[in-house]
Each structure stands twice: as structure tokens, then as C-alpha cells.
Amino acid sequence: MAHDKNHAAAHAHPSGNTYLKIFVILTLITIVEVWAYYIPALVASPLFNPSLIVMSAAKFAIVVLFYMHLKFDHKLFRALFSGPLIIAGATIVALMFLFHKLSL
Amino acid sequence: MSAHTAAAHAAGHEDGHVHHHYTTTGLDNRKIAIWAFIGSECMLFASLIATYLIYKGKSLVGPFPHTEYVDAAGKVFKPILDIPVTSASTFVLLASSFAMVLALQAVQLKGVPLPTNAGWWTRAQRSSQLWLLVTAMLGATFLGFQAYEFTAFVHEGLTIKTNLFGSTFFTLTGFHGAHVTVGVLWLMSLLWVDRTRGLAGPGDELLVDITALYWHFVDVVWIVIFTLVYLIQ
């Protein structure tokens, strides 16, 4: 039955030790972000902002995929989250162009 | 509704405990609802973040987030953001997400016997009340950090009316703080249910799962805010 499968899938989550490893990874990425903030040479680099955004996106994805279990959950839930997220991201980028914060 | 689902639904009402809300997709409608709600919240925070980014660097008077400001009277305003304090609060919120997944796991493992040689960590992982309490306390600690930050900013001359940075900063982080407050209240009510009648079984798992999804969403929003508002200059 569909809901039996869903219930079984709900239990196919990582273990407590995996959650702990994920927490350590999230903490390490945050430490790197903050460390980079205090290095003037890095802040002056054109790669500073993009690298911060990449690290933030990685943390976002890790939490959503593992802590929110989207990696293991039904595809409808993935669609319910990814769809609005893509629209939200596109809206931010469009507004940045509209208000000349970004240009081609 | 399939025959099996209907039978399970009827049985649920008869025993007075299990109340499944399965849809034709086979998924519980409450879980679909929380994901749809989280999707709509993405839009809300996107609008707040976009507003912050559009007005970033357009304030005519200080205090400014990352640079010093001297007003006409010669008063010096230091860069207002306190990165060490905010880094600590970010760590606290990340830790609360970790505690939240352990709370959900503890409810899912109710009824599963502990191995005879289980250590303290394995035993600790089985206490849903412990992890719900830890999550709520860490959430409250995050709110304490935010209250401290807001108070310090006001004392240093930055209010919601001072400049564009103040307006957009307090609106964005204030909305996030309001969400954390709702989450803490939600967690405390769940903890109360766990203490009074205990949380066990698929129905209660779903209650904790839905709470966890909301809590982790609040965490991921902060991950974005921390980078875009505090770290990017």
C-alpha cells in the first residue's frame, strides 16, 4: 500500500551518529565562513562573496536533504519545496537586475 | 480513498488513538500542508531578503553594518554588526536543528528495545522529552542573542527608523525571530504533550515530524540571512 511504503520510507532515515556527523560538517563550514570574514585579503578578493554563497548553499542543501529528510521523502514533497524555492530565488535575482544591483 | 485506507481510517476511529489523514496520493494531508506552507514561507522570506539586498548600501546616514560612520557633529559610529555574537547564535540554532532530528528519531524508536550493551549516547538518543527540551532551550537562547543584539543596536543609535539599513535589517531579522518564537512555543506544547500522555506511534511521529520540518526551515532561513546580511560586505 502507498502509505505503508511511505511509512517505511519515513523510517529509512540516517542514524543518530550520521546526524552528529552532519552537525559537525555544518559547524565546520560556519567556522570557515566566519574565519574568511576576518581575513582582509580574502574579503578583498572577487571570489569572497561567491564562495560565501556557495558555502551557505551547501549548508542549506545539507539541512534540507538530511535533517528535513527530503533526500529520502516522497517526490511530491520535493516538488512542493523546490518549486517555490526556484520561484523565490528567481524573484530575488530578477529584482536585483530590476534595481541595478546586478548587471550583465 | 482506497478500501485499505478507508478500513484503516475506520479502525483508527474505533480504537480512539490513530487518526490517519491519507489522501489519494497515499500521503498524509498534514505533511503535504506543512510542505506547501514551507514553500509559501520561501516566498515571504525571499521578498524580505530581496528588499534588504536592494536597499543595501543606500543608507544616507549611519550607523552602517560593516563600515564606520562620522555624523555632522563629529560623532563616530563603529560598524554595527557584531559577528562573534551572531556566529555564536548561528551555532546555537544549528545545534537546535541537531537536537530536533534526535527528538524525531527518539519518537520513531519508541517501542524498539535497547541493545543490552547500549552506551550512554544510545540511551540518551531514546529520550524524546530530553531532545524536545534541548531544542526549545536552544531556540530560546537564540532569541536571547537576538534580543541582546537588537538592544545593543538601539543603544548605539540604530532603530527601525534610522536609515534604510535599520528598516530592512529589523524587518528581516524580526520576522525570522517571530518564526523562531512560534517554533519555541510549538516545541514547548509538544513537550507538554510528551510529558502528559507520551508521544508514540505513527500519528505522534507525524506531529513531531511536522514540527521538525518547521524548525529546520527556520534554521535554513537563518543560514541564508547569516551569509547575506552579516558576512557579505
**CATH code, domain carrying B216:** 1.20.120.80
Same domain, A49 and A92: no
What is the distance in angstroms between the CA of the first residue and the CA of the last residue of chain B? 54
Number of domains in chain A: 2
ipTM: 0.87
Ranges of chain B with pLDDT below 70: 1-22
* pLDDT at residue B193, rounded to an integer: 94
Ranges of chain A with pLDDT below 50: 1-10
What cell was used for A79? 516538488
Number of domains in chain B: 1
Same domain, A80 and A60: no
Tell if the CB–CB gap between A87 and B224 is shorter than 8 Å: no
* pLDDT at residue A17, rounded to an integer: 84
Is residue A86 within 8 angstroms of chain B, CB to CB?
A: no
What cell was used for B112? 524498539
pTM of the model: 0.87
Same domain, A67 and A88: no
Interface of B with A in 99-118 (CB under 8 A): 100-102, 105, 108
Helix (H) or strand (E) holding B110: none
Is residue B70 within 8 angstroms of chain A, CB to CB?
A: no
Closest partner CB to B53 (pick from A27, A76, A96): A96
Tell if the CB–CB gap between B121 and A16 is shorter than 8 Å: yes
Please, how many CA atoms are within 13 Å of residue B167, restricted to the half-sphere of its CB?
Answer: 14
What cell was used for B49? 531578503
In a domain, residue B15? The reply is no
Is residue A92 within 8 angstroms of chain B, CB to CB?
A: yes
In a domain, residue B5? The reply is no
Interface test with B, best of A21, A34, A65 (most B CBs within 10 A): A34
In a domain, residue B54? The reply is yes
Same domain, A65 and A86: no
Residue B74 structural domain = 28-231
- In sequence order, which residues have a C-beta less than 8 Å from that of residue A17 and are 6 or more positions away? none
* pLDDT at residue B8, rounded to an integer: 43
State pLDDT tens for residues B141-163. Answer: 999 999 999 999 999 999 999 99
Secondary structure (H, E, C), B155-170: HCCCCCCCCHHHHHHH
Is residue B25 within 8 angstroms of chain A, CB to CB?
A: yes
In a domain, residue B2? The reply is no
Instruction: Report the distance separating Cα A19 and Cα A25, nearest Å.
Output: 10
Same domain, A15 and A52: yes
Same domain, A24 and A60: yes
Is residue A90 within 8 angstroms of chain B, CB to CB?
A: no
In a domain, residue B18? The reply is no
Same domain, A66 and A95: no
Interface test with A, best of B172, B227, B228, B230 (most A CBs within 10 A): B227
Same domain, A83 and A63: no
**Residue of chain A minimizing CA distance to B102:** A16
In a domain, residue B9? The reply is no
Residues of B in contact with A22 (CB under 8 A): 98
In a domain, residue B17? The reply is no
Same domain, A68 and A52: yes
Helix (H) or strand (E) holding B70: strand B69-70
Instruction: Report the distance separating Cα A16 and Cα A76, nearest Å.
Output: 26
Nearest to B175 by CA among B60, B88, B26, B45: B45
Tell if the CB–CB gap between A23 and B94 is shorter than 8 Å: yes
In a domain, residue B41? The reply is yes
Same domain, A41 and A66: yes
Same domain, A100 and A59: no
Same domain, A81 and A99: yes
Residue A54 structural domain = 2-73
How many C-beta atoms lie closer than 10 Å to residue B221's C-beta?
24
